[in-house]
Amino acid sequence: MNKNKIKRSLGERTFTVVNTTLIILVCFTCLFPFIYELAISFSSGAAVMSGKVSLYPIGFQTEAYKKVFQNISMWRSLVFTIVLTVVYTLLSLTLTILCAYPLSRKRLYGGKWIMMLITVTMYFHAGTIPTYLLVYNLGLIDKVWALILPCVLNTFNMIMMRTFFKSVPAELEEAAMIDGCNDFQVLWNVMLPVSKPILATIALFYAVQRWNSFADALYYINEPKLYPLQLKLQQIIQQGQADNMMSDINSQLDVVVPKTVQAASIIFATVPILLVYPKLQKYFVKGAMIGAVKG
């Protein structure tokens, strides 16, 4: 009996060690691309081009960052993306609430029909080109609105909001109605205050989606002044790859090569996300759990 116990606890200990080691390894693979990127961004061009850099800088330099920081269009892109994200998130959240609240009320005549017509759009997409032609015909090409209007409402988020509104006890609404509140007042004074956590979650869903997407900008925006940060970054990376092929031979002695500038730009674009990540993660996981429960 006693022998058996020792044997088992030894097995348990091995299990824990192996399990923990594996998780640490996986975590490391999640982090190491950034460590590597940081190392490259601070390394000399010669070291990078000869493939000598691993997890720490070789031939330390900060010229690559100077180049990125001195690039006015990079800052303009950053500011533009921040403003775009804020405006988009506010509009999206407003529309999501305005759509979800009436549809969460059972007394709404025709609510089921409206809901069905909305659900259809989740299953059938017209496709990239018809949407592009619509944006084109509305005269939105090279306009900020092209990055806001076509995606201003997300049906998944709307349904999540609606499910939450449905779960709010009906007594709250009835009590407010007795006090003489109209529907707008009920929404504003009763529903929204109790929905703060889910509002934060959905707002962050929208914000991250806007911050990270670049395909719509690639389709609809030709004017460099309206490039969101991701598209700007994509161009730097593509340009860098083209330059790399040409500078392979003669840039061995340069301090800064396209690769280091690329790396510095990637770090520049990643830092804003990392700054808000702890908060972001908390609310996102909450949202994912709601989604999981919903199936």
Partner 1 sequence: MNTQTKVRHRKKISIRKALSRDWQLYVMLILPIAFYIIFMYGPMYGVIIAFKDYNIFAGIAKSEWVGFDVFREIFKMPEFYRALRNTLTLNLLGLILGFPAPILLAVMLNEVRNSAFKRVSQSILYLPHFLSWVIIGGLATQIFAPQGIINYIIKSFGGGEVQFLSNKPLWIAVYQIVGIWHGMGWNAIIYLAAITGISGDIYEAAELDGCSRVKMIYKITIPSIMPTIVIMLVINLGKIISIAFDPPYVLGNSLVEDVSDVISTFVYRVGLKSADYSTATAVGLFQSIVSTVLIIVSNIVAKALGEEGLW
Q: Does 21 bind partner 1 (CB under 8 A)?
A: no
Give the one residue of 2, 3, 171, 184 binding partner 1; rule: CB under 8 A. 184
Q: Does 44 bind partner 1 (CB under 8 A)?
A: no
Measured CA to CA, the distance from residue 118 to residue 163 in angstroms comes to 15
Nearer to partner 1, 22 or 83 (CB): 22
Instruction: Count Cβ atoms below 10 Å from residue 87 Cβ, excluding itself.
Output: 14
Is 78 within 8 Å of 168 (Cβ atoms)? no
Q: Please, which residues have CB within 8 angstroms of residue 176's CB and are 6 or more apart in sequence?
A: 185, 186, 189, 190
Residues 135-174 that bind partner 1 (CB under 8 A): 137, 149-150, 152-153, 158, 174
Residues 186-205 that bind partner 1 (CB under 8 A): 187
Q: Does 206 bind partner 1 (CB under 8 A)?
A: no
Measured CA to CA, the distance from residue 83 to residue 79 in angstroms comes to 6
Write the binding mask 95 to 134 for partner 1: x where contact by CB under 8 A, - elsewhere.
x--xx-xxx-x-xxxx---x--xxx-xxxxxxxxxxxxxx
Question: Which stretch, 72-80, 82-90, 161-169, 211-219, contacts partner 1 (CB under 8 A)?
Answer: 211-219
Shortest reach from residue 193's CB to partner 1, in Å = 17
Give the one residue of 66, 166, 279, 294 binding partner 1; rule: CB under 8 A. 294
Measured CA to CA, the distance from residue 20 to residue 7 in angstroms comes to 20
Question: Which stretch, 32-40, 65-73, 161-169, 188-196, contacts partner 1 (CB under 8 A)?
Answer: 32-40
Q: Does 262 bind partner 1 (CB under 8 A)?
A: yes
Nearer to partner 1, 107 or 196 (CB): 107
Measured CA to CA, the distance from residue 42 to residue 205 in angstroms comes to 33
Q: How many residues bind partner 1 (CB under 8 A)?
A: 106
Measured CA to CA, the distance from residue 59 to residue 46 in angstroms comes to 8
Shortest reach from residue 282's CB to partner 1, in Å = 9
Shortest reach from residue 129's CB to partner 1, in Å = 4
Is 255 within 8 Å of 242 (Cβ atoms)? no
Shortest reach from residue 134's CB to partner 1, in Å = 5
Question: Which stretch, 18-26, 60-68, 161-169, 189-197, contacts partner 1 (CB under 8 A)?
Answer: 18-26
Write the binding mask 63 to 102 for partner 1: x where contact by CB under 8 A, - elsewhere.
--------------------------------x--xx-xx
Q: Does 23 bind partner 1 (CB under 8 A)?
A: yes
Residues 215-254 that bind partner 1 (CB under 8 A): 215, 218-219, 230-231, 233-234, 237, 241
Q: Please, which residues have CB within 8 angstroms of residue 43's CB and are 6 or more apart in sequence?
A: 53, 57, 58, 59, 60, 61, 260
Is 206 within 8 Å of 153 (Cβ atoms)? no
Tell me the residue length of the chain: 295
Cα angle: 255, vertex 259, 72; to 5 degrees: 85
Is 225 within 8 Å of 76 (Cβ atoms)? yes
Cα angle: 286, vertex 278, 29; to 5 degrees: 100
